[in-house]
Amino acid sequence: MKNAPLNSPPQGTQRTRGTNRFGYKKVSPSASSVSSVSPVVAICFVSFVSFVFTQRSIRAQTVDEATRLLQEYVRIDTSNPPGDTRKAADFLAGVFQRDGIRVERYESAPGKAILYARLKATVSPPAGKPIVLLHHMDVVPADRSQWKVDPFSAQVQNGEIWGRGAMDMKGQAIAQILAFLRLKRQNVPLNRDVILLAHPDEEVGGAMGARWMIANHFAELDPEYVIDEGGFGSRDLFASGRLVYGIAVAEKKIVWLKVRAEGVAGHGSQPHDQNPNDRLVRAVARLLSESEVARPAVQPAGQPSLVDVMRTRVGTFATNKFTNAIQQSTIAVTWLRSGVGDPPKINVIPSVAEVGLDCRVLPGTTKDQWIADLARRLGDPSLKIELINESDDPIVTPQDTPLYRNLEAAIKVRHPDAIVTPMLIPYGTDSNAFRPKGVKSYGIFPAILSADTLASMHGDAEHMPLDSVREAAEVFFEALRTTLRK
């Protein structure tokens, strides 16, 4: 799945021609040549061989650590609801404390544990505000009857871990944790603090997770940067035959709506024109009849839209539901509710019918503009539109920053052919809660994921390649180390 092989050389070691499978130059001296070398050369040769095997051992330990930590994490059921993250916080606290890293723990509500670990800057004063590595501990529920394996067994099959949360987002969490631990273990000089924040509640809106921390403990964070979920690398999702890494710098606005039709109840044997089901079905048909449901507001002079920037870098987008979603505002009918009784009586015309609409709106369109246009297209003034939930208006994080450039550089070291682009994501993340505070937030899992892996998120066969977790940990570490230099 990756271009980079599993056993890549340790940091600071360059590949040379004629190398063995571990990336080091082959040394095959004859007996006579060995006997004729000086003691100094012999000592150097022995030291080099010792170095090689030491580095191989370190690499093996790292590989085992990635697998072990992700398996342990996935096996902790943090399904939301109920979203109890206390055991997950206990697990993470143990990981950090074994390396001498102090942790703080908060509880936003009963069972809603939040964990906070911090590496302090090694210079005074720090060169800038902290970098936060952010991930959510909660996962969506799993229907065990639909899984071929226990969704919380974290089985390894063909180099992949299968289980709820492996993709969203415990795999990325472990990559962040490994990079964070490596900064500590290698005593990397830090020009600012680095914080790892693990929180609950993202899967149900984040009110008791990241948003609670921002509302109650922002002074303890006050970051310049956040690295969160959102973007990734893919050879097939963005453009056919092109390796593209998208770094999320903005997301579409969430507008969740309920549309309600009211009418007159009656016997199913005597249809009439006040049936709310009929009116609602016709209105939804009109609503969905237009293919492009909204356009972004006009950009400032000389400022192309984020989608235009992506097109310039990527070229022609592949045709799939993901690229469709990032190019236009969308509406998904997610539920229909009607009928009398449970189960509903088939011979009763109800007096009320409702539909749920999950709307994802491009930057530049406000909630009020969106609802007004949606009401026009429904074409029935008697329908009642209720706002269920909305996210913050999208803010685009600038890409001209040291951290963005260093993430891009770390990716290109491993994949020189990669196209790295800022991207708009169609789903919501906790980064959107930080951007209004002026925080530069980037969403990226910096490894190559197949369309199949991406599609498994929230599905009944969620999985994550372990090679991708290891590569993401390496990219995170390199980008952080460069950014944290004096």
Note the pLDDT tens digit of each residue in 195-217.
999 999 999 989 999 999 999 99
- Final residue of a domain: which of 390, 409, 425? 390
- Do 238 and 137 have their domain in common? yes
Q: Per the domain annotation, does 478 fall within a domain?
A: yes
Q: How distant, in Å, are the alpha carbons of 58, 139, 183, 478 from that of 406?
A: 25, 30, 16, 8
CATH number of the structural domain spanning residue 343: 3.30.70.360
Residue 36: pLDDT band with limits 50, 70, 90: very low
- Do 346 and 472 have their domain in common? no
CA neighbours closer than 13 Å in the CB half-sphere of residue 70:
37
Higher pLDDT, 276 or 34: 276
For residue 56, give the 3-state DSSP assignment: helix
Number of domains, the chain: 2
Q: Per the domain annotation, does 421 fall within a domain?
A: yes
What is the per-residue pLDDT for 28?
Answer: 34
- Do 275 and 383 have their domain in common? yes
- Its domain, for residue 118, covers 73-249+395-483
What is the per-residue pLDDT for 52?
Answer: 44
Q: What Rg value do the Cα atoms of the chain yield, rounded?
A: 26
Condensed to tens digits (0 to 9), the pLDDT of residues 382-405 reads 999 999 999 889 999 999 999 999
pLDDT at 167 over 50: yes
**CA-angle at 23, arms to 20 and 27, nearest 5°:** 45
Q: Per the domain annotation, does 19 fall within a domain?
A: no
- Do 259 and 164 have their domain in common? no
Rounded to whole angstroms, how far apart are CA atoms 456 and 453? Answer: 5
Q: Indicate the average pLDDT of the chain.
A: 88
- Do 189 and 259 have their domain in common? no
Segment 406-424 mean pLDDT = 98
- Do 358 and 274 have their domain in common? yes
- Final residue of a domain: which of 345, 366, 390? 390
Residue 291: pLDDT band with limits 50, 70, 90: low
Q: Per the domain annotation, does 305 fall within a domain?
A: no
Q: Per the domain annotation, does 24 fall within a domain?
A: no
- Final residue of a domain: which of 372, 390, 408? 390
Segment 153-173 mean pLDDT = 97
- Do 212 and 109 have their domain in common? yes
Mention every residue, 6+ apart, whose C-beta is less than 8 A from residue 286. Answer: 377, 378, 379
What is the per-residue pLDDT for 19?
Answer: 36
Q: Per the domain annotation, does 245 fall within a domain?
A: yes
Q: Per the domain annotation, does 81 fall within a domain?
A: yes
- Do 290 and 417 have their domain in common? no
Identify whether the C-beta of residue 426 lies closer than 8 Å to the C-beta of residue 326. Answer: yes
pLDDT at 54 over 60: no
Rounded to whole angstroms, how far apart are CA atoms 473 and 178? Answer: 6
- Do 234 and 142 have their domain in common? yes
- Do 406 and 257 have their domain in common? no
What is the per-residue pLDDT for 187?
Answer: 98
Residue 299: pLDDT band with limits 50, 70, 90: low
- Do 170 and 239 have their domain in common? yes
Structure tokens at 69: 């930590």
Rounded to whole angstroms, how far apart are CA atoms 7 and 13? Answer: 12
Condensed to tens digits (0 to 9), the pLDDT of residues 338-355 reads 999 999 999 999 999 999
Q: Per the domain annotation, does 158 fall within a domain?
A: yes
Structure tokens at 153: 């067994």
Condensed to tens digits (0 to 9), the pLDDT of residues 67-94 reads 999 999 999 999 999 999 999 999 999 9
Secondary structure element (H or E) that encloses residue 435, with its range? none
Residue 302: pLDDT band with limits 50, 70, 90: low
Instruction: Work out the percent of the chain whose per-residue pLDDT is above 70.
Output: 84
CATH number of the structural domain spanning residue 403: 3.40.630.10
- Do 115 and 263 have their domain in common? no
Report CA 14 to chain centroid distance, whole Å. 31
